[in-house]
A and B are shown apart, each in its own frame.
Chain A
Amino acid sequence: MGDDLGKLLGDCVHCGFCLPTCPTYVLWGEEMDSPRGRIHLMQQHHDGTPLTPEMAGHFDACLGCLACVTSCPSGVQYDKLIESTREEVERVHPRTRAEQALRETVFALFPYPARLRALRGPLRLYQGSGLSRLLRPVLERLSPSLAAMERLTPPLGRAYRLPERVPARGGRRATVGMLTGCVQREFFPQVNSATARVLALEGCDVLIPKGQGCCGALSLHSGRAEEAKAFARATIVAFESADAVVVNSAGCGSAMKDYAALLADEPEWAGRAEALSAKTKDFSEFLAALGPRAERHPLELTAAYHDACHLAHGQGVRAQPRSLLAGIPGLELREIADPDVCCGSAGTYNLFQPEAAGELGDRKAANVAATGASLLVAANPGCTLQIATALRRRGHEPAVAHPAQVLDASLRGLGPGVLGVSGEGGPGPSR
C-alpha cells in the first residue's frame, strides 16, 4: 500500500452523505460500519495501526455494493479503496480454520463452470428427494453459510448448450461476443439462451467462444487480485476478436470494465485490458445504444425492476434496462422503494455474512412485495437468487426474470405465462 492509497483516502471530507445508502449503516447505525467509518479505519491502518480482528470484521462486513460511490459528492473512489483493503486483509489477517475452509471451497467452486456443472446432477437429485426439509435445520446449526448456500440454490432445470455462433436474423447490425459466466451458465442457462436469441433477433451475430471461463469478478471483489488477474488475462484472450462483448451479469460486466485498472501495471497486458474494458457492454446498455428494430409483442404484466448494485453503482446503468422494459407494449414498470440499497447478495456476501445478507434480503423483499408487481426483473444472478429466497421466506412464490428473458418473451410473442406470471396481480407461481 503506497502513497496512492494515502491520496485516495485523503479525498474523503467526512461529510457523511454516504451513510444513508450504505446497507450496513442502514442495518446497524454504527459509524465503523459505514463507508465514512471504514475509510477512517483504513486511514488508521495506513497511519500504522495494526489490522486488528475488529477492523477486519468491519471490512468483511462491507458488501462492496458501491452505493457510496454514487452518493459521494467528493468523488472518493471507495471501490479502489475497498479492493486494496481486502487484499491487505487477505494478506495479513489470519482466518479461522472454518472461515478458511469455506473461502477455499467457494473460490475453488464458483469460478469454475465445469465444477459447478459436476454439482448439478447430485443437486437435482437432492432437490427431488425432499431431503432438504430434513437437512436444513441441521445445516443452520452447523454452518449458517452452508445453510445459506443450500437455501439459495435455485431449482435446477435441464441444461442448455449454446452453439459457438448464433447468426443474426434479418440483416446483421453488429457482431458481438457473449460472456456466459459461471453461475449464470450453470444455474440460469435459460437467461443465456434468451440473451443470445434477443441479440440475434435484434440483428447481431453472436459469438460464444468455447474457451471462455470465469471473468474473475468474485476473486477481484474479494481481495484475491492475483487470481483475478489470471482470469482476466484468459477472458481477454477469449474475446480479443469481438467488436463488443455483451455481458448479462452485472458483477461480471463491472469486473471486466475494471480490467484496465487491474492490469495497468503489466506492460504486455495493459493495452489489451484497456481495449477489452472499453468494448465490454452490459446487455441493456448495448441494446439501448443499438436501438430497437425487432417488433415488440405485447406482454400484459406489471414488473418491478431491481437495480443490481454492480450495474447501477458499478456501471452507471440505470435508465437503459428501464427503457427497454418500458418499450414493451402492455408492460407496466413499477419502482421499488430504496432502489439504491443492496439486496444483500453482493457476490459472495450472502455466503460469508449470511445473517446481515438475510436481513437485507428481507428488507428488499418487503419493498418488492409492496410494489404489487407480478414479476421481479433483475439483471444479476446473485440478486435473483437472493431476493427470490427472501420472498419465499415471506410466503411468496415469486416470478423472477432477467431483462433478456422479458424481452425474449416479447420479441417471440410468447405471453407472460412463459415468465411464470399468472396474469393476475401479486407474485405468481414458480416455474
Chain B
Amino acid sequence: MLRRLAERFRDRLGPESVIDDPVRLRTYECDGLTYHRASPGLVVLPGSAEEVAFVVRECVEAGVPYVARGSGTGLSGGALPRTDGVLVVTSRMRRILEVDPDNQRAVVEPGVINLDVSKAVRPHGYYYAPDPSSQQICSIGGNVAENSGGAHCLKYGFTANHVLACEIVTPEGEITTLGDGPGYDLLGAFIGAEGTLGITTKITVRLTRIPQAVETLLAAFPSVETAGAAVSAIIGAGIVPAAVEMMDALAIEAAEAAVACGYPADAAAVLIVELDGPETEVASQFARVRLLCEEAGAFEQRVARDDADRALIWKGRRSAFAAVGRISPAYIVQDGVIPRTALPEVLADIDRLSRESGVRVANVFHAGDGNLHPLVLFDDAEEGAGERAELVSGAILDLCIAHGGSITGEHGVGVDKARYLPRMFTEADLDTMQMVRCAFDPPNLCNPGKVFPTPRLCGEIPRVRKGSPDGELF
C-alpha cells in the first residue's frame, strides 16, 4: 500500500519530495524527544497547500495514517511518525508570503522558522511575540500544533493569542480557512490540538510592536525559596514583567558549561526578570523589581547594559535544555504547571524525590506563570537508570496534579504524556474531547495515537450518551 502511495506522490510532487529509502527514513524516527522512536513508512515533503491536500486525500482513500512534522523539535513526541503511515514534513514550505505592518500582521507558510518572522518584520518596528527556547529552529506550523509558549508568554500570551487565521487541510483533504469570524471558535480548537485536527498550510500571525524600552535583570539568590519569594513579591506588587525565569544551581552549571553565560557561580538560584513597555513605566517598575529582589534576599544583581549583554543573559536560559547534555549523558525534559504560590513547596518536594531516588533533577522554569521544566538526569548506559528517571519524572507530574496544576504547560501531551491524561481528567472528560476529534477526523487517520491514552472509534457510542434515546450529538 505504501509503495503504491509512494508512486502516486512521486508522480504528483516529484521524486525529490518523496523519501522511501529505509536508511533515510530512519533519520525521521524521532523529534526533540528521542525516548520514543518509530521509523516512518514514508516521508513526503510537499511544497504547497494543494500538495498537502493531495497527500491527505490519498492517505484517507488508502486508509493510511499520516502525521505532520515541522522542524522536528517537539518535546512530547507529538510528531512521532507511524511505521505504517506517511510523515508529512513541512520544512520546504518556508516562504513568508506577506508582511503587512499597517495591519500588524504577516502571512507565513508552516515551515517558516519562528525567529525568521521576527527578523523579517523587525525593519518595520515589529516582532513576533511567542518565543519558545527553540525559536531559532522551531516552525510556526509546529507552534500552532502545540500552542507553543516561551519565556515572554507571561505578559504576551501563547501562540493562540498571536494567530489570527489558519488555512488548513482538513483530515478529509479539503483546504479551508479557520478565522476569527462569528460562530464556534474552531481556530481556538485547532491551535494546540497537536496536529490531530488537520494540517495547517498558511498562518496569519499578529505582529507586536517592538517596545520602547526593555530592561533585563539577572538576580542571584542563596536559595530556591528566596528566589520564589521574590517572584511572588513582584507579581503581588501588580507588576506584569515580560518574563520571569528561574534556574537552579544544576541548571546554571550546565548553561555555564555550554555557553559561558557568566551567571554568578555561587548562586543556588538565579532569576531573569525582564520588563518592557513605555520608558517611564519600565524605569519606575524596574527600580521596584530590583528593590523587591533585594528584600527577598538577592545577593547579586546584574542589569543588562545593552542588547548584547541581554542576549548573553538569555543565551544561558535558552540553551539550558540542550546544555544539560554537558553534565549528563541523558535526561528527560519535564513540563508541568503549578500555582505560583505552591512553588517553594513543590520545589522542596522535587528535591526530596531527587534525594530519595538518587536521581539528579535540574530545574529551569517560567516562574512567573508557574510552568516548571524539571530536567531529570540519568546515564543511559546504566542498567535501569532510564526507568528510575522515568519514575521520578512521573512523580513530579503527580506533584503538579496534587497541587491543582497540570501535566503540561507548553510542550503538549503527544505520545509521552497520553498515559498521564486520565490522572487529570475523568473518562467522561476524555470522551468529550475525543468527540471533538471525531467531528474533524472521523476515520481517525490524522496523527492517531497522540494525546489520548486509548483511541476511541468514532462510530462507537460515547458513554456520555448512554440513556439518551436519539442522541446524535453532532
Contacts and interface: CB of A to CB of B under 8 A. Distances in A.
Interface of A: 10-11, 13-17, 19-20, 28-32, 37, 40-41, 44, 49, 52, 54-55, 58, 71-75
Contact of A20 (B30, B92, B113): B113
Given A16-B71, A19-B137, A29-B45, A52 B23 contact: yes
Of A11, A29, A73, which is in contact with the most chain B CB atoms at under 10 Å from its CB? Answer: A73
B28 A31 contact: yes
Given A44-B23, A49-B23, A54-B23, A17 B45 contact: no
Contacts of B325: 11, 13, 73-75
10 contacts: A13-B34, A14-B32, A29-B91, A30-B19, A30-B91, A31-B72, A73-B258, A74-B258, A74-B322, A75-B257
B134 A75 contact: no
B465 interface: no
Contacts of A54: 21, 23-24
The 5 nearest A-B residue pairs measured at CB: A74-B325, A73-B322, A29-B91, A73-B319, A37-B27
A17 B23 contact: no
B323 interface: yes
Contacts of B94: 29
Interface in B236-251: none
A15 B73 contact: yes
B176 to A, nearest CB: 25
Contact of A15 (B29, B32, B91, B113): B32
B358 to A, nearest CB: 22
Contacts of A44: 23, 26
Contacts of A74: 258, 322-323, 325-326
B134 A16 contact: yes
Q: Identify the interface centre among B32, B134, B137, B329: most chain A CB within 10 Å of its CB.
A: B137
Contacts of A37: 27
Given A19-B71, A74-B322, A74-B323, A31 B137 contact: no
A245 to B, nearest CB: 28
Contact of A32 (B27, B30, B259, B380): B27
Given A32-B24, A74-B258, A17 B322 contact: yes
Nearest to B93: A29
A233 B111 CA distance: 48
B21 A31 contact: no
Interface string B4-36: 000000000000000101011011111110100
Nearest to B315: A73
A13 B92 CA distance: 24
Most buried by A among B24, B45, B72, B259: B24
B321 interface: yes
Contacts of B21: 52, 54
Nearest to A72: B322
B136 interface: yes
Contacts of B380: 10
Contacts of A55: 23
Nearest to B255: A73
A14 B45 contact: no
A16 B331 CA distance: 16
A15 B258 contact: no
Interface in B343-401: 380
Given A31-B27, A32-B27, A55-B23, A15 B45 contact: no
A17 B320 CA distance: 12
Given A40-B26, A40-B27, A20 B321 contact: no
Contacts of B92: 28-29
Nearest to B119: A337
B334 to A, nearest CB: 15
Given A29-B91, A40-B26, A73-B259, A20 B136 contact: yes
A419 B31 CA distance: 49
B23 A16 contact: no
Contact of B134 (A13, A15, A49): A15
Given A16-B31, A44-B23, 11 more contacts: A13-B322, A13-B331, A14-B32, A14-B34, A15-B321, A16-B134, A31-B72, A31-B89, A37-B27, A41-B23, A75-B258
Interface in B40-78: 45, 71-73
Contacts of B72: 16, 31
A20 B70 CA distance: 13
Nearest to A55: B23
Contacts of B331: 13
> Which residue of A30, A49, A54 has the most chain B CB atoms within 10 A of its CB atom?
A30
A32 B137 CA distance: 16
Given A16-B32, A20-B113, A54-B24, A73 B323 contact: yes
A29 B111 contact: yes
A41 B32 contact: no
Contacts of A52: 21, 23
Contacts of B329: 10
Interface in B254-305: 257-259
A19 B136 CA distance: 9
B92 to A, nearest CB: 4
Contacts of A32: 19, 24, 27
A74 B324 CA distance: 7
Contacts of A29: 45, 89, 91-92, 94, 111
A16 B137 contact: yes
Contacts of B326: 74-75
Contact of B322 (A15, A28, A40): A15
Contacts of A30: 19, 45, 91
Interface string B99-122: 000000000000101000000000
B254 to A, nearest CB: 9
Nearest to B47: A29
Contacts of B27: 31-32, 37, 40-41
Among B21, B29, B319, B322, the one with the most A-chain Cβ atoms within 10 Å of its Cβ is B322
A281 B26 CA distance: 42
Contacts of A14: 30-32, 34
A44 B39 CA distance: 12
B435 to A, nearest CB: 34
A11 B326 CA distance: 8
Contacts of A28: 92
Interface string B305-345: 00000000000000101110110010100000000000000
B259 to A, nearest CB: 7
Contacts of A20: 113, 136-137
Contacts of B322: 13, 15, 17, 72-74
Contacts of A11: 325
Contacts of B24: 32, 54, 58
Contacts of B29: 40
A135 B401 CA distance: 74
B417 to A, nearest CB: 19
A213 to B, nearest CB: 38
Contacts of B23: 41, 44, 49, 52, 54-55
Contacts of B321: 15, 73
A151 to B, nearest CB: 25
B10 to A, nearest CB: 16
Nearest to B111: A29
A32 B258 CA distance: 25
A175 to B, nearest CB: 33
Contacts of B34: 13-14
A71 B26 CA distance: 24
A304 B97 CA distance: 29
A17 B91 contact: no
Nearest to A7: B329
Nearest to A18: B137
A143 B355 CA distance: 65
Contacts of A72: 322
B2 to A, nearest CB: 18
A28 B43 CA distance: 14
Nearest to A52: B23
B136 A17 contact: yes
B319 to A, nearest CB: 4
